[in-house]
Amino acid sequence: MSQSQIRLRSRPAAVFVSLALFAAFAACEEETAPGPTPVDVEIVSGNDQYSKQGTELEEPIVVQVTLSDGSPGAGLVVRFSIKSGGGSVSQASAATNAEGTTSVRWTLGTILGPQELGVSLAEAPAVATVGQATSSVYYCPEEDPTFLRRFFAENDLFLFTKRSSVTESAGTPRAGVVHLEMNTLLLEFGAAPPAVVVFDETVVQAVVRDCAFSSNGEFYIAWSNPSGTREIRKIAPNGSSTHFATLQGLLGTEITALDGGVLAGCDEFGPFTVGCRDTLTRYPDALFSGVGGDIANYDAVAFDPVNDFLYFIDEPARRIKRIPLDGYTQTGAVEEVPVALTLDETAGANGMVVHPDGSLYVLVESTATKSIVRVTPAGVKSTVFDFFDRVGSPGIQDDLALLQAGAAIALYTLDTLNNVILLYQISPSQGLFEVVPDPNTDPDAASNSSSGERVGLAVLP
């Protein structure tokens, strides 16, 4: 065999080997090519919350992992650790879902001020971020200062009662929290949606105390439930409710709103405030024994948001008093308004509100005195309306609610004896008017009928 034949014969084998080696190299390259890597972990929800020291934040901390190609990092382990504040987390680590997200619950430590939560990836510790929260003595989710109208239309009236002045078309009495669609220009109210909170008074022997909207738009009721528990409950627009605070008074409780979502009230032991759930705060120099004649009027409390005063009535002293507040922190001694009240005005006060000019309007309901009394910031007292001047029976008036609609300012009250909603106009002119059912609605859908029970009135801000 010649040398040239040998070369010709061996050439195809060499080509085959080269192709095989190239294919193997290409396959190796394909198998070892790096895929997308995690490049970012971000807190997408729950950062920068406030809560009371030592409590769990209202919302979970939700994080999301992103890969280098922009896709979500699924199936990766995120680690959580306390960096400052001494709190705790519900779990030390958690795997991300298909969207690249996972979450953790964060309980703040008892140290006041800013606290930090470390968030990092187990697979890439350098991919990390830090969560922030603030621990405070009194700041809670309920104090979110942002106003949000959660219920129906502005300036409508809410009535909390065992029997309301509105009945369904079938004639079934409506009980609970009833929404009244008000038209003050025509002095009418129309048929409203079903009661926000419904109870059958033949089954649920609840005792109505009061209702109020907070300054951030939350709605609360104060009542005694069938088991004897005295409490404030927060009401959601769908009618569901959650416990907010346990009340101490046996006789009654009036509630109102302070700035920033804080709730205030007054029972026979005196005024109180509630910021976080079950953090009822008393004021030592405005505290009564609740026995004998040593009580505060538990049907009258009001807050002045301009001057930050919480007003209440000291029955033994026959004086209106006020507490200067910042949030619900007392900033000075309890002050007396320089005006003397009569015995009827002291014990018979059945509702109190603050006019934007700082004047107090007090509803007085007793056998001998039935009136709306005005007390100016300087302590000048006057009777602006005497219900004995009404044609017919002077009625039995219960609770006051302040209505502000542009330049118009008025008061709502309910005459439970004559079954009439009353509106006392303060400005631009003065006068008492009856608010009647809208004649254009089903006559059975809105009728004046009330049992004379205690009621609570609140105007939707």
Q: Are residues 110 and 14 in the same domain?
A: no
Contact 78, 121 (CB under 8 A): yes
* Last residue of one domain, picked from the residues 137, 155, 189: 137
Kindly state whether residues 304 and 182 are assigned to the same domain: yes
Question: Coil, strand or helix: which one is 157?
Answer: strand
247 and 160 together in one domain: yes
* pLDDT tens-place values along the chain, 461 residues long: 444 343 333 344 443 334 343 444 444 445 556 789 999 999 999 998 878 788 888 889 999 999 999 999 999 999 999 999 999 999 999 999 999 999 999 999 998 889 999 999 999 999 999 999 988 765 565 556 677 888 888 999 999 988 776 766 666 667 788 888 899 889 998 877 777 887 665 555 678 899 999 888 889 999 987 677 899 999 988 888 888 899 999 999 999 998 877 899 999 999 999 987 888 899 999 999 999 999 999 999 999 999 999 999 999 999 999 999 987 889 999 999 999 999 999 999 999 999 999 999 999 999 999 999 999 988 999 999 999 999 888 999 999 999 999 889 999 999 988 888 999 999 999 999 999 888 777 665 666 555 456 789 999 98
242: enclosing H helix or E strand: strand 241-246
CATH code of the domain covering residue 52: 2.60.40.10
Cis peptide before 237 (omega within 30 of 0): no
Bond from prior residue into 428 cis (ω within 30 degrees of 0)? yes
Q: Are residues 166 and 269 in the same domain?
A: yes
How much is the pLDDT for 176? 85
* Same domain, yes or no: 90 and 123: yes
Say if residue 24 is in the same domain as residue 99.
no
Judge if 112 and 218 occupy the same domain: no
Q: 3-class SS at 456?
A: strand
Residues 49 and 161 placed together within one structural domain of the fold: no
Torsions phi, psi of 91, nearest 5?
-155, 145
For 358-415, the pLDDT digits (tens) are 999 999 999 999 999 999 988 999 999 999 999 888 999 999 999 999 889 999 999 9
Dmax (CA) for the chain in angstroms is 141
Q: Given 92, 121, 137, which residue is the final one in a domain? A: 137
Judge whether 350 and 365 are in contact, CB under 8 Å.
yes
**Which of 104, 137, 170 is where one domain is finished?**
137
413-417: Cβ within 8 A, 24+ apart? 413/351, 413/363, 413/457, 414/159, 414/165, 414/450, 414/455, 414/457, 416/450, 416/451, 416/452, 416/453, 416/455, 417/393, 417/452
CA 229 to chain centre: 21
Residue 394 lies in domain: 143-459
The answer on 3 and 130 residing in a single domain is no
* Same structural domain, 1 and 90: no
Same domain, 299 and 348: yes
Domain total of the chain: 3
* CB within 8 Å of 81: residues ≥ 6 apart: 89, 92, 117, 118, 120
Q: What is the pLDDT of residues 304-337, one digit of tens each?
A: 999 999 999 999 999 999 999 987 889 999 999 9
CATH for 204: 2.120.10.30
Whether residue 233 is found in the same domain as residue 114: no
> What pLDDT, on the 0 to 100 scale, is given for residue 70?
95
pLDDT given for residue 8 in this prediction: 32
